Amino acid sequence: MDKKLIIGVVQVLLGAISYGLLATFVRIAYNEGFTTVEVTFAQYFFGFVVLGTVYLLKSVNRRPSNLEYIQNPGSFWKLILGGSTLGLTGFFYYLSVLYLPVSICVVLLMQSIWMGVVLESIKNRRRLEHQKIISCILVLLGTVLATGALETATSLQPLGLFYGVFAALLLTISLLVFNQTALELPVPTRSFYIIIGSLSAITIVAFSSLITDFNFGIFTSWGIVLGLFGSVLPPVLYSSGMPKTGLGVGAVLTSAEIPVSVSMAAIVLDENVDQLQWAGVMLIITAIILLNLMPRFNFSAKEK
């Protein structure tokens, strides 16, 4: 692999690790009585504040924003629309948790892996490579084992299944936006407009809860942490890394969120993780190595 691809792999992995850490913080916030709307809104609000500040500081130094907007109005709206899918991904994922075991919800969200690989194949009009097919199968099998889904795959409610699969589809669209939209713009600019879309979408779908029954204590307790690991680091890292890895490879790399989540649950939340779950973690890691770090496969990051 070339240096550019390696940097992209590291960036996407760090973004996935950030999301993996986020799950533990969200669980703790839930245990303290905060709701889905409060957690999600606080997460994207703090992301908006941080990324907006960075964007303004960069604009003052370079003063490029007005010219960029005049030359690329379509790209900015695409970033905002794509950012809305990122915000709604978390919202619908949390809704699925209301109806299904968390392990099943994670499995459903990870359908974005094969969705991303298939979408990239269709977009590029190329057949799926054997390495990608094998890696996706390993990731899906590893995800089932790592989340303990085999033990809880009963009495699944259709509405929960819909929310989980819809969240996976939204995540796939988000990854597509990170991969190919407005690549000529600086990362701070792209990240800021993505977070505008995320915050706007959450505000619209949860407006009634925001004005009637919102606990502002979330801002002084978990808001900053949720914003950092959920809305600042991932958009910046994905915006920079996805164009280097390609959508299919990037989608598989995001599965690193699963082993991180399982490990954090065992260490911080003291949840029981059995041997089958750890075997699933190892399968996911194997798939990532197979797809990205074995030079004998040597496929290009950008498949056009």
Which secondary-structure segment (H or E) carries 262? helix 257-267
The CA distance from 143 to 187, in Å, is 31
Q: Do residues 52 and 192 lie in contact, with contact meaning Cβ atoms separated by under 8 Å?
A: yes
Nearest C-alpha neighbor of 94 from the set 38, 36, 25: 36
The CA distance from 246 to 4, in Å, is 12
Domain spans, the chain = 3-292
Task: Collapse the DSSP code of 80 into the 3-class scheme (helix H, G, I; strand E, B; otherwise coil) and give the result.
Answer: helix
Residue 110: CB atoms within 10 A of its CB come to 28
Residue type, 87: G
At 295 the pLDDT is 43
At 142 the pLDDT is 81
Distance of CA 133 to the CA centre of its chain: 21
At 243 the pLDDT is 77
The CA distance from 109 to 105, in Å, is 6
How would you write the pLDDT of the chain (304 residues) with one tens digit per residue? 578 888 888 888 898 888 888 878 887 888 888 888 888 898 889 989 988 888 888 776 665 444 455 456 677 788 888 888 888 988 888 778 777 776 677 778 877 777 877 777 787 777 767 777 887 788 788 878 877 766 666 666 788 889 888 998 898 888 777 667 776 777 777 788 888 898 999 999 888 778 888 888 888 888 889 889 888 888 778 778 877 877 667 767 777 777 887 788 788 878 777 788 788 888 877 777 776 555 444 444 444 4
Tokens 């690329």 locate to 72
Task: Collapse the DSSP code of 75 into the 3-class scheme (helix H, G, I; strand E, B; otherwise coil) and give the result.
Answer: helix
Residue 136: CB atoms within 10 A of its CB come to 24
